[in-house]
Amino acid sequence: MESSCIYRNPCSNIAMKVSLALVLVFSCSQLLAQSANSTSSSENYSGMYSFLQEGEFVQVTVEDEGRVTGFISRFGDGESDRGTFLDQFFKEGKLEGQTITFTSQIVHGVSFTFKGTVERGAGKTADDEGYYVLKGILTEVRTDVNKKTYSKSREVVFKSFPKSLETAPAPRD
């Protein structure tokens, strides 16, 4: 006489339940990781920030995978370029979490390196000055006509410009 009852191995039921539980845990951890990443990447730190003097600024653009591009637009302070606007494009830059770094190209013997963080500032909305701030150490490197190099580091805070006013001027050649 054949039995219509299917024999069930209790061990295979346990293995199936453990496998399903592991898949569920893995799926939940992936969703949480994606949620955490989208929260931090939803902040758009791209924009214009103040620089060292009134009228000077830094244009920061955060691209895919944390690549940072941009330029510093500043007044020249050497004998040949005093008062002239100089644009110094970033030769490298990156954003990892809240940590931002960039290094400018050398223009008229001067380059800048910034290492710091992007933080929420005192501005209440993106249309307020200082909604974001770049806080950190700015190192200015100068090379004189005799090829002697000097560097000066200082703590700085660069405030974001209001987004509503942010129509970045095209860099000058």
Which pLDDT value is given to residue 14?
Answer: 52
Sheet holding 47-50, edge to edge: 47-50, 57-62, 68-75, 85-96, 99-104, 110-120, 132-143, 149-159
Is residue 9 over pLDDT 70?
Answer: no
Same domain, 18 and 100: no
| The predicted structure's pLDDT at residue 77 | 83
Q: What is the pLDDT of residues 121-131, one digit of tens each?
A: 999 998 999 99
CATH number for the domain harbouring residue 112? 2.40.128.30
Query: What is the domain extent for residue 36?
Result: 7-42
pTM of the model: 0.69
Give the pLDDT confidence of 71-119 residue by residue, as tens digits.
999 998 877 788 788 999 999 999 999 999 999 999 999 999 999 999 9
Using a 10 angstrom Cβ sphere, with 0-12 exposed, 13-18 middle and 19 or more buried, the burial of residue 14 is: exposed
CA distance 148 to 132: 37
24 shares a domain with 55: no
Rg (Cα) of the chain, in Å, rounded? 26
Q: Kindly tell me if the per-residue pLDDT of 164 is higher than 70.
A: yes
The answer to whether residue 22 sits within a structural domain is: yes
Identify residue 97 by its one-letter amino acid code: G
pLDDT above 50: residue 39:
no
Counted residue by residue, the chain has a size of: 173
Q: Is the pLDDT of residue 135 over 50?
A: yes
Alpha-carbon gap, residue 70 to 92, rounded angstroms: 9
Helix (H) or strand (E) holding 12: helix 10-41
